[in-house]
Amino acid sequence: MRITVIGTGYLGATHAACMAELGFEVLGLDIDPTRVASLSEGLLPFHEPDLPALLQKHVKSGRLRFTTSYQEAGAWGDVHFIGVGTPQRAGEGAADMSYVDSATISLARNITKDALIVGKSTVPVGTTRRLKNLVRDNKRPGVKVNVAWNPEFLREGFAVVDTLTPDRLVIGVDSPEDEAVLRKVYATALAGGVPLISTDFETAELVKVAANAFLATKISFINAFSEVTEVIGGDITTLADAIGLDARIGRRFLNAGIGFGGGCLPKDIRALQARAAELGVDHSMRFLDEMDGINLRRRERTVDLAREMLGSLSQSRIAILGVAFKPNSDDVRDSPALDIANRLFDEGAEVSIFDPAGNLNASRRSPQHHYVSSTEDAVREADLILLLTEWDEFKALTPEGLSVQTGTRKIIDGRNILRPQVWADSGWSVGSLGRRYVADQAIEGTPSEQLQMSSSPAP
Ligand code: UGA
C-alpha cells in the first residue's frame, strides 16, 4: 500500500515519517518547494524530538520521498492523508478551510486510480461530508475516490511517540471497505492492543474538537482557581495535586500558570464556537468563551505582576526564559510567553529573550526584542526575570546559580516549577501565578495572616 501525506508541517511530516517507519512507501507533498527540498535532504525545518532521526533513516532507505507535484501524488498513492493547517481566519473565530479545500480538490483532479482520501486536519463538524461532494465534483470519471476522517491527537514535542503508539485510533467512515483499508494502515498499533473507534464522520470530527475543548477547559479551570488563591492566599499547585488524586479528575493538564497557547487549543475552541453558532447551538459552546477569557487574563495578570514587582515597567529591563508555547518545541504560534513579552515591550520595557529552540520563530514574529543564546546573556542586566516555558534547563535553575549570573533577585515563575520557599530563603522575591505575591513592605495584617504570608512564596 502506497501512502501520500499532503502537508508537511508538524502533523504531516511526522505522519509521513512514522508511516515509513511502519513499513509503507510514503510520498509527502507540500506546495512549499523550500520545505520539500529540505525534507528531501533529510533536514527537518522545525524542532521535534526524535523526528530528525526517523526522517533521515527513511529518506536514506528510499521509503520516504517528498514532492510538490499533485500529479505525481495522485498517480502514485493508494491512501492519501490530508494534514494541512486549519488556522483561525483573520478577524474571526472560524477556521480557515481554504488549505484543506484546495488540497482536496487538487488531489481529486489528479487521482488516476481507485483511492481513499483520509483527512487528519482538525476541522469543523460537517467537513467530511462536504469534501465528499467536492471530490465527486472534481474527480476524474471512472475512478473511485472515497473520503474518510481520522483525527490526530499527537502533541508537539511527543509527536513521534504519539503517532507510533497512540492511546486510541478514531476513524469516521461510511463503508466497511474504507474501514478495512484503515485497519491495514494501522495494523501494527491494532496488533499492539490500541483501541479503534470506528464511527460516522460527524462523531469522528467532533471527537477531536471535544478532546481539545476538554483539555483547554481543564487548564482554564485550574487557572480560574489561581485567580482566587492569588487574592485570598493558598497554593494552586497543592490544590491541583489534591484534586488530581481523585481518579475521576486526574492530575494531568491541571498545571496552573500563564495558560495555553499553540496552534491548536486556542484556535480550536474558537472554531468550535463559530461552528456551533452556524448550527444554531451557540449556547452549548458558550462556556468556551469563558475558558478563552480566563486563559487570556493569565497573560494580563503576568504583566500586572511584573509591574507590581518593579513599580513601573517603563525603561525596565526584563529577561524572559522560554518563549515557545511549551517545552520541547520551537512553535510560537499564539504563545502566551511571546504575547507577554510584547505587552511588556508596549509598556516601555526592554526585553531579552532566551529559548532553547524558539528564538528564531519568535524573532520573525516579534523582532523588537533582544534574542540571546543563553540564560546568562538574558539575565545579566535584568531588573526582573520571567520564567515562561518549562524547559528542563529552566527547571534545573537554582537561586545560587542564577544569583551569580545576575544582580536582580526578582523572578516570576509563570509555570509553577520553582520551589518558591527555597528561592525566598535565598533572598529572592518570587511572583507566581496562583500563589499570593507579598512584597517585603506589604507584610501586614493579623498574626495568622502573617503566618500564612510567611509560608507563601515571596518574602
Ligand atoms: C494539543 C493536544 O494536547 C493534542 O492532543 C492535539 O493533538 C493537538 O493539540 C492538536 O490539536 O494538534 P499541543 O498543541 O501540542 O497538543 O500542546 P499541549 O501539550 O496540549 O499544550 C497546549 C498548551 O497548554 C501549552 O501552551 C501548554 O503549556 C499548556 N498547558 C498544558 C498548561 O498551561 N497547563 C497544563 O497543565 C498543560
| 413-435 residue pLDDT tens | 999 999 999 999 999 999 999 98
* Residue with CA at minimum distance from ligand 1 atom 8: 155
Mean pLDDT (the chain) is 94
- Expressed in percent and rounded to 5, the helix, strand and coil fractions of the chain are 45, 15, 40
Atom of ligand 1 nearest to the CA of 211: 5
- Return the ∠ at Cα 85 (arms to 159 and 327), rounded to 5°: 35
| 275-329 residue pLDDT tens | 999 999 999 999 999 999 999 999 999 999 999 999 999 999 999 999 999 999 9
Active-site position among 3, 115, 118, 264? 264
* Residue with CA at minimum distance from ligand 1 atom 1: 155
> What domains, with CATH codes, occur in the chain?
2-199 (3.40.50.720), 208-292 (1.10.1040.10), 297-455 (3.40.50.720)
Q: With 90 as the cut, is the pLDDT of residue 442 above it?
A: no
- Return the ∠ at Cα 43 (arms to 39 and 44), rounded to 5°: 80
| 249-258 residue pLDDT tens | 999 999 999 9
Length of the chain equals 459
Query: Taking the C-alpha atoms of 51, 57, 61 and 62 in order, what is their torsion angle to the nearest 10 degrees?
Result: 30
Residue with cell 496562583: 434
Using 50, 70 and 90 to split pLDDT, how confident is the model at 438? confident
First CA to last CA across the chain, in angstroms? 64
**Model pTM score:** 0.94
Helices (H) and strands (E) in the chain, counts: 20, 14
| 37-90 residue pLDDT tens | 999 999 999 999 999 999 999 999 999 999 999 999 999 999 999 999 999 999
Q: What is the pLDDT of residue 437?
A: 79
* Residue with CA at minimum distance from ligand 1 atom 10: 264
Beta bridge partners of 352: 319, 370
Mutate to test the pocket of ligand 1, among 11, 155, 329, 415 (most ligand atoms within 8 A of CB): 155
Atom of ligand 1 nearest to the CA of 415: 33
- Is the minimum distance from the CB of 222 to ligand 1 under 6 angstroms? no
- Is the minimum distance from the CB of 334 to ligand 1 under 6 angstroms? no
- Tell me the Ramachandran region of residue 328: left when phi exceeds 0, alpha when psi lies from -120 to 50, beta otherwise: left
- Tell me the Ramachandran region of residue 432: left when phi exceeds 0, alpha when psi lies from -120 to 50, beta otherwise: beta
| 102-127 residue pLDDT tens | 999 999 999 999 999 999 999 999 99
C-alpha cell read off for 305: 505582576
Q: What is the pLDDT of residue 436?
A: 83
Please provide the DSSP assignment of 334-386 as one string: T-HHHHHHHHHHHTT-EEEEE-TTTHHHHHHH-TTSEE-SSHHHHHTT-SEEE
Catalytic-residue membership of 264 = yes
| 316-356 residue pLDDT tens | 999 999 999 999 999 999 999 999 999 999 999 999 999 99
Atom of ligand 1 nearest to the CA of 152: 7
Q: With 60 as the cut, is the pLDDT of residue 376 above it?
A: yes
| 383-417 residue pLDDT tens | 999 999 999 999 999 999 999 999 999 999 999 99
- Is the minimum distance from the CB of 255 to ligand 1 under 6 angstroms? yes
The rounded Å distance from CA 25 to ligand 1 centre is 31
